[in-house]
């Protein structure tokens, strides 16, 4: 005869969050999907679905902040590969090249592409002209600047 298993209780939101945390902790430790599944009492496919679902909902920071994060994450690998090559281990050449290639991809985002064309020059000249006019106006009115010298920029608390 076939054994019938009692249906498992469904996890509430806290239970699911704890399970997801355990799954990702084990993945960081290098566990395979089938090992995680066996430990959690799930199928390997269900573990893959959970991981894909969480990663799909994740908000990825794009632009320079993400690139800086990735560069920082690659630094230990670069350091280890460089040290291995320094010791004469030629097997570290391929990993070093891969790390450098990854860093180059993110470096393009981090390095600001400045274009200083005629429009930017005109705006800078307009700003400098305004600053010069403000300074000239302040220096031509000495009594106004001495009155302002006694003022403070902070709010005073009532006694």
Residue 156 or 39, more confident: 39
pLDDT at 73: 83
Confidence class for position 61, pLDDT limits 50, 70, 90: low
pLDDT at 141: 67
Residue 121 has pLDDT above 80, yes or no: yes
pLDDT at 1: 52
Structure pTM? 0.38
Phi, psi dihedrals of residue 88, rounded to the nearest 5° = 95, 10
Q: Tell me which range, 10-14, 24-28, 38-42, is most confidently predicted by mean pLDDT.
A: 38-42
C-alpha dist (Å) from residue 123 to 113, 117, 120, 135, 150? 18, 10, 5, 18, 34
Q: What is the pLDDT of residues 63-116, one digit of tens each?
A: 777 777 788 888 999 999 999 999 999 999 999 999 999 888 877 766 655 567
Residue 120 or 153, more confident: 120
pLDDT at 109: 66
User: Cβ neighbours of residue 41 under 8 Å, at least 6 residues apart?
Assistant: 8
Give the whole-angstrom CA distance, residue 110 versus residue 67.
6
């Amino acid at each position: 005869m076939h054994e019938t298993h009692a249906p498992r209780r469904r996890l509430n939101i806290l239970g699911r969050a704890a399970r997801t945390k355990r799954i990702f902790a084990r993945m960081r430790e290098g566990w395979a999907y089938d090992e995680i599944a066996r430990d959690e009492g799930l199928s390997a496919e269900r573990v893959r679905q959970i991981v894909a679902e969480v990663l799909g909902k994740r908000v990825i920071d794009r632009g320079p902040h993400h690139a800086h994060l990735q560069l920082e994450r690659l630094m230990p690998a670069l350091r280890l590969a460089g040290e291995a090559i320094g010791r004469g281990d030629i097997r570290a050449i391929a990993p070093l090249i891969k790390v450098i290639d990854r860093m180059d991809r993110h470096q393009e985002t981090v390095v600001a592409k400045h274009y200083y064309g005629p429009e930017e020059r005109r705006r800078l000249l307009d700003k400098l002209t305004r600053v010069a006019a403000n300074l000239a106006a302040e220096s031509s009115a000495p009594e106004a600047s001495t009155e302002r010298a006694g003022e403070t920029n902070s709010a005073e608390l009532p006694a």
